[in-house]
Amino acid sequence: MSGTKRPGDGLGPKAGEKRWKRKKIAPEIGSSFRSTGSHEEVLLQDVKLLLGEAHEPGTAPEQFSQVELSISMLGSTGDGLSISHDGTRVYVVPFAVPGDTVVVKVVKNFPSYSMTDLIEVIKPSKNRDDDLVFCRYFGRCSGCQFQMLSGDYQLQHKQKVIAKAMQNFSNLDPSLIPPIGGVMPSPLLRGYRTKLTPHFDGPRRGGFKEGAPVPDIGFQLKGRSFVLDIEDCPIGTDAVRDGFKSQRTFVKENLHTFKRGATLLLRETTERTFSPETIDGREAIRSYRDIKTCITDSKALVTEWIGRAKFISPAGSFFQNNNSILEKFTTFVQEQLVIPKLAGQDHSESYLIDAYCGSGLFSICCGHGFNGIIGVDISSQSIESARKNATENGIHNARFITGNAEAIFANIDFPPELTSMVIDPPRKGCDELFLSQLLKLGPKRLVYISCNVHTMARDIGWIVQQGLGKDYRIDKIGGFDFFPQTHHVEGYAVLSKNS
């Protein structure tokens, strides 16, 4: 695409809308600062990596000026990064690839870096393949960053992101960090998302009047604070894409009923019907047919199938959004939860604690072979779903309890030396109160799952550096590509406690 304009060139805000989304700037990372793993913190670490710790800030370029750059690195936030000719500043370039020569427009300056818009790719990188792009909104929508990159390139980059997260956010000596494993690919690179949440803005007061123009409905425009109108999102499943179209029509026909802007929920649900059993040799095989539809009511119940496991939960509750990878993912987690036996040992007992259990994903998919399972969550609604799902799937050795944040493990009586724990916290990770209680409990095996590898690195580092955590070693670190075409990666860390 040498010499061509990138999609989105020339876009600007509408009257009365802000041109640039204001962001909080992360403080310098110090020993007294507990990282939040925010976009700004992660970007700042990449800037430091390129410029060095002792760099002197240079003169900022004029706002809205155009600059020709060579992209030297793909940052952990998904943007291309380029160093200024004098080595004093980093330019952050969306939708750019290492090796690209580009023209950009400077839109906002910070002390050591400048945010830009990509105007033109003068000379494309050997790693860029624009024929891979499958969405007409790519280059403007903030949802995807990597459609011009091969699947293998994306996986290699995400492995580096995990490695940098451990280096920058764990505060651990490198000798304590094992080699970073590869990122397991998603079976689907598009059409995989079972949930989307497009939105639209409304008037400041008074609601929409009869005959009012229909607002843009979609996702945020890259780097801007207003919505890009989107008619279709091809990373969604077919059911979700159909639901997107019908919801756009619903909003247009019922706009006057909205008092303000809204976020639309699009969540896939699956109805599975089984055929009569047939005999093939020695065992009965039941075939089935799945009918997938889209749910838009957050309180309605949706059904997900992971292999033979069935999960029912409210549409507005959390559930992993890439069903295509979940069976391989949960099988892997189950394997990691097995406590290695020493020579001569023959423990017949083992137990599982599923913290942040939600609707019971790991308790049900990974609980085979354990004598007892306890799922813990602070959400009573999640615990109710988990109990029902365990019953639905014939799991009789599990109990689910609503935990209090100050004493979340108070009702757990499993012997710690025979207990494994899986934790899958939200993006912000675990707070120190939770981690302190975990260390007092002292499970033999710990599997940490995270959609934010930076807070994962922070928490794993904190565990290993505490007095009660000195006996834990990190066995494995790696990731799963839950989110192809985006910079996000699902990370995992496996820890064992020495006897």
What do you get for the CA distance between the two ends of the chain, in Å?
Answer: 59
Amino acid at 7: P
* 45 assigned ligand-binding residue: no
Amino acid at site 470? K
Q: Is 63 annotated as a binding residue?
A: no
Ligand-binding annotation for 481, yes or no, is: no
Q: Are 96 and 105 in contact (CB under 8 A)?
A: no
The three-point CA angle 352-353-358 to 5° equals 125
Bin 305: left if φ > 0, else alpha if -120 < ψ < 50, else beta: beta
The token pair at 5 is 């304009």
The DSSP secondary structure of 464-488, one letter per residue, reads HHSGGGTTEEEEEEEEE-SSTTSS-
Q: Taking the alpha carbons of 13, 19, 22, 28 in that order, is the dihedral positive or negative?
A: positive
Decide: 266 and 319 in contact? Cβ < 8 Å: no
Sign, CA dihedral 275-279-284-285, equals negative
DSSP-assigned letter for residue 236: B
Distance of CA 497 to the CA centre of its chain: 28
User: Is residue 101 a contact partner of residue 121, using CB atoms and an 8 Å limit?
Assistant: yes
Q: Is 346 annotated as a binding residue?
A: no
Considering only CA atoms, which of 60, 54, 118, 120 is closest in space to residue 92? 118
- Cα–Cα distance list, 192 to 10, 296, 307 (Å): 31, 18, 16
Candidates 294, 357, 365, 451; catalytic one: 451
Asked if 141 is an active-site residue, the reply is no
Using alpha carbons, select from 486, 491, 490 the residue that is nearest to residue 154.
486
CA-to-CA dists, residue 412 to 267, 365, 366, 431, 446, angstroms: 34, 21, 19, 20, 16
The tokens for 384 are 């109710």
Helix (H), strand (E), coil (C) string for 331-395: HHHHHHHCCCCCCCCCCCCCEEEEECCCCCHHHHHCCCCCCEEEEEECCHHHHHHHHHHHHHCCC
Q: Which residues are catalytic?
A: 451
